[in-house]
Amino acid sequence: MGKQPSAWITTQQKKRWPLMILLLLSLSTLMAFLIRSTFDSCSNGSINNVGNFIREGQEEEKGGTHHQVNHNDEAPTPNPLDFMKSKLVLLVSHELSLSGGPLLLMELAFLLREVGADVVWVTNQKQTESDDIIYSLEHKMLNRGVQVFSAKGQEAIDTALKADLVVLNTAVAGKWLDAVLKEHVADVLPKVLWWIHEMRGHYFKLEYVKHLPLVGGAMIDSHTTANYWKNRTRERLGIKMPETYVVHLGNSKELMEVAENRVAKRVLCEHVRESLGVKNEDLVFALINSVSRGKGQDLFLRSFHESLKLIQERKLKVPPIHAVIVGSDMNAQTKFETELRNFVSQNNMQGRVHFVNKTLTVAPYLASIDVLVQNSQARGECFGRITIEAMAFQLPVLGTAAGGTMEIVVNGTTSLLHPAGKEGVMPLSNNIVKLATNVEKRLTMGKRGYERVKERFLEHHMSERIAKVLKEILLHKAKRHSES
């Protein structure tokens, strides 16, 4: 989880799903949930779905592979990226790590490999991750036919010159252009697509982005972020953005498979709740983001505390509510984390607030909670992938009215929005109480969110959107070429 929270499930982890399910899904569990028909958070399917539970369960065990029985399969349609077949694409990543940016670029690498493009990957920055992680990520790419070159070698320069398309990932990757291509920069710029996922002040440095005006195009994850970049590059740096395309992200197929597998979800839910000490009938509100002030965990806990008071004062009949903060990293944010923990103990909420260390496998948590809280402050999230991931799991979202969140959710239908900052504390606590007291509303919102994901935030939607942009860049390059 970095700038872009992501539920990427790595190959190893994916392979572990069926295994985990086999281990955990003993016959007794199966019997227990077939017999139990009362409502609890781990089984929000109706009894009519029992047939599906069994079929899916058997499928898992028989095949041993992760096979999903999908009743909504559409007729096979041509892959929108087919025109990229045999095209040479160079992907320039600022780093190779488990954070959102690089993982998203890897997803693009695999989408391009699927249609038979030649894909070369270079990593520009010095590695911060452990050798194990780097090795496993590189290995994964090599397995899928992505070539991995050194960012600074002659191979990288030759590839850039030959390539049909060069994708620079994040603003920081701009440093690679001058450092490596040197006198060739101008030749390469027209075929560069710059994919930008960040919205923080320190990225607006000429050192990173001075070549922006001359690249083939910029691709940005949300309209808010695109507008922000347009404004800031002009006001701060006096440069003009190139043709800019907004491309909303989509959920990976792996995530959707878990989200749509009731057996897997149920098993994960019971497992995670047990490990947190939360009962199946309790209600869980979770914020899943790297812990930092910008992500608003402090304000969320204040709201949560207010909700507990409201419930007590009004003597509302609701199941015990819990707050889960997934994304803790005591070493990185010691002061802020200490502040959060002090707040919890001062207000005697230890039994109601749970901290979970930073993790990439967010699916188990999404399977276990009742409501996602997206409390990113100030300009909000650039996009906020966790939001569409939660909606895939049929979760309602309580979000700040800011940034990418506004482009994903529908206020009042899939979500309830509150303002960022201190003035959002009471509205958020009221919304927590609203969803805690109204099961029907909560479930309906979750379903509407899921429908919205199926309509516009799946991998194939993202592929279609990206395909349009890549076509434009290839055209743009051809035009430049014929002019010169």
Ligand X SMILES: *[C@@H]1O[C@H](CO)[C@@H](O)[C@H](O)[C@H]1NC(C)=O
Binding site for ligand X (CB under 6 A): 231, 235, 329-331, 357, 401, 411-412, 417
Q: Which is nearer to ligand X, 73 or 440 (CB)?
A: 440
Question: Closest separation between CB of residue 296 and ligand X, Å?
Answer: 16
Question: Closest separation between CB of residue 313 and ligand X, Å?
Answer: 22
Q: Which is nearer to ligand X, 161 or 401 (CB)?
A: 401
How many other β-carbons are positioned within 10 Å of the β-carbon of residue 246? 18
Alpha carbon separation from 116 to 86, 145, 159, 191, 301 (Å, rounded): 6, 10, 17, 19, 48
Cβ burial, residue 398 (10 Å; 0-12/13-18/19+): buried
Question: Closest separation between CB of residue 419 and ligand X, Å?
Answer: 8
Q: Which is nearer to ligand X, 159 or 307 (CB)?
A: 307
Q: Which is nearer to ligand X, 397 or 417 (CB)?
A: 417
In angstroms, the CA 240 to CA 330 distance is 41
Long-range contacts of 154-157 (CB under 8 A, 24+ apart): 156/90, 156/120, 156/122, 156/180, 157/181, 157/184
Q: Which is nearer to ligand X, 124 or 224 (CB)?
A: 224
Question: Closest separation between CB of residue 213 and ligand X, Å?
Answer: 18
Q: Which is nearer to ligand X, 243 or 329 (CB)?
A: 329
Helix, strand, coil % in the chain, rounded to nearest 5? 55, 15, 35
Per-position b or e across 374-394, b if 16+ CB within 10 A of its CB: bbbbebbbbbbbbbbbbbbbb
210 and 198 in contact (C-beta within 8 Å)? no
Q: What is the DSSP letter of 179?
A: I
Question: Closest separation between CB of residue 231 and ligand X, Å?
Answer: 4
Q: Which is nearer to ligand X, 25 or 371 (CB)?
A: 371
Q: Which is nearer to ligand X, 230 or 454 (CB)?
A: 230
165 and 89 in contact (C-beta within 8 Å)? yes
* Three-state DSSP string of 306-353: HHHHHHHHCCCCCCCEEEEEEEECCCCCHHHHHHHHHHHHHCCCCCCE
Q: Which is nearer to ligand X, 410 or 439 (CB)?
A: 410
380 and 224 in contact (C-beta within 8 Å)? yes
Quick check: helix, strand or coil at residue 394? Answer: coil
179 and 211 in contact (C-beta within 8 Å)? no
Polymer length of the chain: 484
Q: Which is nearer to ligand X, 65 or 331 (CB)?
A: 331
Q: Which is nearer to ligand X, 173 or 326 (CB)?
A: 326
How many other β-carbons are positioned within 10 Å of the β-carbon of residue 101? 23
Q: Which is nearer to ligand X, 363 or 409 (CB)?
A: 409
As a whole number of Å, the CA-based R_g of the chain is 23
Alpha carbon separation from 36 to 46, 287, 423, 465 (Å, rounded): 11, 29, 43, 44
Question: Closest separation between CB of residue 395 and ligand X, Å?
Answer: 18
Question: Closest separation between CB of residue 434 and ligand X, Å?
Answer: 10
Cβ burial, residue 220 (10 Å; 0-12/13-18/19+): buried
Question: Closest separation between CB of residue 330 and ligand X, Å?
Answer: 4
Question: Closest separation between CB of residue 86 and ligand X, Å?
Answer: 42
Reading phi first (left if > 0) and then psi (alpha if -120 to 50, else beta), residue 86 is in: left
Question: Closest separation between CB of residue 90 and ligand X, Å?
Answer: 33
Question: Closest separation between CB of residue 332 and ligand X, Å?
Answer: 8
Phi/psi at 65 (nearest 5 deg)? -105, 170
55 and 69 in contact (C-beta within 8 Å)? yes
Question: Closest separation between CB of residue 331 and ligand X, Å?
Answer: 5
